[in-house]
Amino acid sequence: MIPALRQKYNQQFTEENYKNFITELEKDYFEIPFRVAETPVFVPKALKEKLIAAGEEIINLIKQPNFKELTQKSIPKDWNVPNENEQPHFLTFDFGICKNEAGELTPMLIEMQGFPSLYAFQIHLSNTFRKCFEIDNSVNHFLNGFNEDKYIKLFKEVIIGKHQPHEVALMDVDAPNQKTAIDFFVTKKMLGIKILALEDIKKIGNQLFYEEDGKQIQLKRIYNRLIFDEVADNTEIFKNSFDPRNELDIEWVTHPNWFYRISKYTMPFLNSEFVPDTRFLNQIEIIPTDLENYVLKPLFSFAGMGVIIDVKQADIENIPDPENWILQRKVSYEPAVQSPDGGVKAEIRMMYLWPDGGEPQLCTNLSRLSKGKMIGVRYNADFDWVGGTVGFMED
């Protein structure tokens, strides 16, 4: 998107360079099971400023005194976890890069989460791009005045809090074998915390423990990467560990309820030039006649599952629970990233950390490139110059 930097990068690129880059990225870790794109995204200052402004508008909604009241129905009754805190620790906003009526690149909100993303891996990825390719110093993967030292200090504050690293663990169902496990292991290296599968944690009274060298060590804080949607049909797994919905003497980073509060459910409450028209399906009195311009999304799903792209009237009529769906106006991605064989669509995730008692701080970003119908990995399996990457943004 910054023509001079794009031209320079594409001229230096070779398949051998890319293979060396992947080797370096995986060194000290393991083979990454998701596709990493051949290139970063070079984001011009004007687009960066729009991304920042769009994020601030969303945060203004989240910080409203009535936000919890607005989003209370977002939390499924079966998955409401007690002892919710007053704020999420993470905010991630996904923007498709489009063109506005003036022909300028502009962000349009696609998805939002009060849930962690690849907060450690993105730093490793960015450093590896710089190590393996010539990336100009006029662009930066950090935002808001952050550098690596300042970022790691805040990351530690958010994850570990007032505790010792051995009292904090990153937790998922089968953490070492998740697709994003590379982020877990970079986090461990960066912060010194444990990585635990759900079954590694045992409940004694209302406290949680893990075993190390024959000793029971109490957990004080969990860096939660478990998405309840993934285990909704298999709650038996809690019997060998603990049920997060019980009263527990534990601090959550971030509390599981925020996964629901800040999600697709939040989008109908936003009115912005950076947010496509989004409405709860059960609140639509007259179905639009131009359904080809809309997408139908289930509120409670992840990774694009269940999304209906080519909406028909019958699709809407056949939905038994319209209160759990949104109808959203489609956005038209601009193929703004030039690959050797044409334009590629981009999505940029703005990533915030929100320390206890502090303010949300924009720190870094993630980008995804696509030639498919949707951004996700499963829609781009047969293409190159697609996949996960990072935005280097003009200072």
Q: What is the pLDDT of residues 275-288, one digit of tens each?
A: 999 999 999 999 99
Pick the closest to residue 229 from 330, 143, 300, 139 (CA basis): 300
CA neighbor of 177 nearest in space, from 159, 155, 193, 200:
200
β-bridge partners, 345: 370
How far is it, in rounded angstroms, from Cα 225 to Cα 173? 8
Residue 22 confidence (pLDDT):
98
pLDDT in tens, 200-244: 999 999 999 999 999 999 999 999 999 988 888 888 999 989 999
Amino acid (1-letter code) at residue 41: V
Residues 59 and 112 in one domain: yes
Q: Does 341 map to a domain?
A: no
Q: What is the pLDDT of residue 93?
A: 98
Does 101 map to a domain? yes
Give me the pLDDT at residue 120, please.
Answer: 98
Task: Please name the residues in contact with 145: beta carbons below 8 A apart, sequence gap of 6 or more.
Answer: none
How many Å apart are CA 313 and CA 258, to the nearest integer?
33
Q: State which residues form the domain around 285.
A: 279-327
Task: Examine the domain organization and report whether 51 and 93 are in the same domain.
Answer: yes
pLDDT tens digit string along 1-11?
Answer: 899 999 999 99
Q: What is the DSSP string of 105-174?
A: EEEEEEEEESS--STTHHHHHHHHHHHHS---TTEES--TT--HHHHHHHHHHHHHTTS-GGGEEEEETT
Residue 303 pLDDT > 60, yes or no?
Answer: no
DSSP string, 311-343: --HHHHHT-S-GGGEEEEE---B---EEETTEE
Read off the DSSP letter of residue 40: -
In a shared domain, residues 380 and 298: no
Reading the block at residue 313, the tokens are 């009237």
**Cβ(379)–Cβ(364) below 8 Å:** no
Q: What is the structure's pLDDT at 229?
A: 80
* Residue 32 φ/ψ, nearest 5 degrees: -80, 125
Burial of 125 from C-beta contacts in 10 A (0-12 / 13-18 / 19+) = buried
- What tens digit of pLDDT does each residue of 32-73 get? 999 999 999 999 999 999 999 999 999 999 999 999 999 999
Q: Where are the alpha helices (DSSP H) in 194-267?
A: 257-261
Backbone angles phi, psi at 361, to 5 degrees: -125, 125
The CA-based angle 118-123-124, given to 5 degrees, is 95
The answer, yes or no, to whether residue 304 has pLDDT greater than 60, is no
pLDDT value at residue 379: 60
Is 334 inside a domain boundary?
no
**268 and 299 co-located in one domain:** no
Same domain, 289 and 273: no
- Cα separation, 89 vs 216, in Å, equals 28
Residue percentage of the chain with pLDDT more than 90? 90
Task: Write b or e for each residue in 14-43: b if 16 or more Cβ atoms lie within 10 A of its Cβ, otherwise e.
Answer: eeeebeebbeebeeeeeebeebbbbbbbbb
Strand partners, 278: 328
- The count of structural domains within the chain is 2
- What's the CA gap between 336 and 343, in Å, rounded? 6
Cα(38)–Cα(29) distance, integer angstroms: 20
Do 65 and 119 belong together in one domain?
yes
Residues 185 and 288 in one domain: no
Residue 297: which pLDDT band, with cuts at 50, 70 and 90?
very high
Looking at the domain assignment, is residue 333 inside a domain? no
Beta strands across the sheet bearing 251-253: 194-197, 168-172, 221-224, 251-253
pLDDT in tens, 225-235: 999 888 888 88
Q: Residue 377 — pLDDT band, cuts 50, 70, 90? A: low
Check residue 378 and give its pLDDT: 58
Cα–Cα dist 394/45, whole Å: 5
Report the 10 Å Cβ neighbour count for 67. Answer: 16
Q: Are residues 236 and 358 in the same domain?
A: yes
Instruction: Give the pLDDT confidence of 66-118 residue by residue, as tens digits.
Output: 999 999 999 989 999 999 999 999 999 999 999 999 999 999 999 999 999 99
The verdict on 204 and 312 lying in the same domain is no
Q: Has residue 288 been placed in a domain?
A: yes
Q: Give the pLDDT of residue 389.
A: 98
Query: What is the pLDDT confidence band of residue 381, given thresholds at 50, 70 and 90?
Result: low
pTM of the model as a whole: 0.95
Q: Give per-residue pLDDT as tens, 332-359.
A: 999 999 999 999 999 999 999 999 999 9
Please determine, for residue 163, whether its predicted confidence score (pLDDT) is greater than 90: yes
Residues 294, 163 share a domain: no
Spatial contact of 258 and 113, defined as CB atoms under 8 Å apart = no
Which pLDDT does position 300 carry in this prediction?
Answer: 76
Alpha-carbon distance of 68 to 101, in angstroms, equals 35
Cα–Cα distance measured from residue 1 to residue 125, given in angstroms and rounded to the nearest whole number? 20
Residues 170 and 240 in one domain: yes
Whether the Cβ atoms of residue 342 and residue 351 lie closer than 8 Å to each other: no
Same domain, 268 and 301: no
Give me the percent of the chain exceeding a pLDDT of 70: 97
Mean pLDDT of the chain: 94
